[in-house]
Amino acid sequence: MKIPTFRLALALVATVTVGGLIAGHSYGLRWNKTASLPPGIYQVTEAAPSEIERGSMVMFCPEQSEVQLEARERGYLPWGFACPGGFAPLFKIAMAMPGDVVEATPAGITINGQPVANSSRLEADSEGRALPPLPTSGEVPPGMVWLLSDYAPRSWDSRYFGPVPVDTVYGLARPVWTVE
């Protein structure tokens, strides 16, 4: 039986695509499809908490908190299998580290007195639902990190859920190819 050329070509394209995705994943390549950072391909390398520095682009797993579970139900966070609780990992910037002083106001976030771009806080989402109250301001405690996006003004980040344990960060991210 002769296989039609179209089916053969389609099978070849599918095989190359799936093989490329598997190979890319094994080299730490991840696709960011959220608006928190430019969409595209990032290379993620594992990092110990001590390697996370202010300004590092990171990938982290949201905690299984009431705030994050509600955010996922509302569609702010993608479902996934890579993180506990059915969350997909997120890309953010480590903006404040232990010892930094963070002030969270509706007008925006300041870190050590310096304002963070695009960090004004919304009171309600696009459907009019109230967003969580302001997180606690003050000094970032040991073992915690504030993850923000200064790229996207509507990012779901620490301005809504506060600091996160640094051990939820599982890698440093580096853009490989992005679309702005």
Query: How far is it, in rounded angstroms, from Cα 84 to Cα 69?
Result: 12
* pTM, full prediction: 0.85
Token pair of 76 as six digits:
């702010």
Task: Write down all domains in the chain, each with its CATH number in brackets.
Answer: 29-178 (2.10.109.10)
Q: What is the largest CA-CA distance in the chain?
A: 74
Band of pLDDT at residue 23, cut at 50, 70 and 90: very low
What does the pLDDT read at residue 15?
Answer: 56
- Average pLDDT (114-126) is 95
* pLDDT(126) > 50: yes
- Strands annotated E in 61-135: 79-83, 87, 90-96, 101-105, 108-111, 114-115
Rounded Cα gap, residues 92 and 109, in angstroms? 15
Span 110-132, average pLDDT: 96
